[in-house]
Amino acid sequence: MSNFAIIGPGAVGSTIAYDLQHNQPNLKLLGRREQTLNFFVDGDSTNPHQLTVTALSDCHEKFDVIFIAVKIPQLSKVLSKLDHLLHQDTMLILAQNGHGQLSEFTHPFVYQAVVYISGQKEKDKVTHFRDHKLILKDTPQTQALCKKLENTPLKIQLTDDIEAAIWYKLLVNLAINSVTALSRSTASVLTVPGIKNLCENLLREGTEIAKFENVIFEEKIVTEIMTIYEGYPSEMGTSMYYDILEDKPLEIEGIQGFLYNKARLHNLKTPILDTIYPLLLAQQKN
């Protein structure tokens, strides 16, 4: 475990690259094209750190560990260009929101990471706001990774119940991403009459879907997530909000779309999700 790569030089991938750079000086940050990024860590906007991006197509090494940190709509394309970077024991870590994307992989050692890293990318400037945490399933392989990276700023937390961790994050994303994207407003939208109620009802539908997928949350999860939302600064945008404003592909298939399809599978009534999902789908360009 001595050869690391990160695919996807966005906010998440750049933060992982920054966090691992001293521990893994040969680490490669791979993107569509060669580039130098100015990276600002922990909300500090005065002190840029340079990160070098290598074009994926120019990279001919094989890696022991690859973090895939592209957004959901880019995943299929990355997967089609991945094989030459893999040996038979390569460990792949999908550091991406949503759920259900692991089914697209054929390689054996793939882990879904639950990502707690927030930041934003504009052109060659990446600003990391807060958090340096990935949650992974507890296995001998991830334990070895954890040990290898224990002296880095990246906190890897291992869990026996990765499904619960993935679903929890999925629900956190579900309501706030939906309402900020559809209203094209920052977290300030929570002060509009009816929006908190909408979020609560959408979270209840999500919790019910989780139950039918054998992920059981207590009822108080709704209040808990609403408290998280209320802690957001009102000018904070979500990733789906920024994507919709910039006409970028939206991560809906791994979040709202994943839940919508699960609800159909289990014949659940989810009127709020059934309203939100097609309205988001309608804004997908291409």
Among 174, 195, 203, 221, which residue interacts with its own copies (rule: CB under 8 A)? Answer: 195
Please tell me whether residue 278 binds its own copies under the rule CB under 8 A: yes
Any idea what the Cα angle at residue 153 is, between residues 149 and 154, rounded to 5°?
60
Among 12, 56, 134, 179, which residue interacts with its own copies (rule: CB under 8 A)? Answer: 179
* Nearest residue to 11 (alpha-carbon basis) of 36, 33, 34, 37: 37
**In whole angstroms, how close is the CB of 258 to its own copies at the nearest point?**
15
How does DSSP classify residue 85?
A: G
DSSP SS3 for 157: strand
d(CA 119, CA 15): 8
Q: Give residues with Cβ within 8 angstroms of 59, minimum separation 6.
A: 5, 28, 30, 85
Among 25, 140, 193, 233, which residue interacts with its own copies (rule: CB under 8 A)? Answer: 193
Please tell me whether residue 265 binds its own copies under the rule CB under 8 A: no
DSSP SS3 for 108: coil
Please tell me whether residue 276 binds its own copies under the rule CB under 8 A: yes
Please tell me whether residue 194 binds its own copies under the rule CB under 8 A: yes
Please tell me whether residue 279 binds its own copies under the rule CB under 8 A: yes
In the bound state with its own copies, the residue whose beta carbon lies nearer, of 192 and 216, is: 192
**In whole angstroms, how close is the CB of 276 to its own copies at the nearest point?**
7
Which single residue is written with the structure tokens 């050869």?
A: 3
Among 189, 240, 250, 263, which residue interacts with its own copies (rule: CB under 8 A)? Answer: 189
Among 55, 102, 144, 192, which residue interacts with its own copies (rule: CB under 8 A)? Answer: 192
In the bound state with its own copies, the residue whose beta carbon lies nearer, of 209 and 276, is: 276
In the bound state with its own copies, the residue whose beta carbon lies nearer, of 12 and 189, is: 189
DSSP SS3 for 265: helix
Among 95, 165, 198, 240, which residue interacts with its own copies (rule: CB under 8 A)? Answer: 198
d(CA 6, CA 13): 6
Number of shown-chain residues binding its own copies (CB under 8 A) = 24
Helix axes 162-183, 271-281, angle to 10 degrees: 60
In the bound state with its own copies, the residue whose beta carbon lies nearer, of 143 and 191, is: 191
**In whole angstroms, how close is the CB of 187 to its own copies at the nearest point?**
12
Please tell me whether residue 186 binds its own copies under the rule CB under 8 A: no
In the bound state with its own copies, the residue whose beta carbon lies nearer, of 16 and 195, is: 195
Please tell me whether residue 235 binds its own copies under the rule CB under 8 A: no
d(CA 38, CA 54): 15
Any idea what the Cα angle at residue 7 is, between residues 94 and 244, rounded to 5°?
80
Q: Which runs of E-coded beta strand occur in the chain?
A: 4-7, 28-31, 35-40, 49-55, 63-68, 86-95, 110-122, 125-137, 155-159
Residues binding its own copies (CB under 8 A): 179, 182-185, 189, 192-195, 197-198, 201, 271-272, 274-279, 281-283
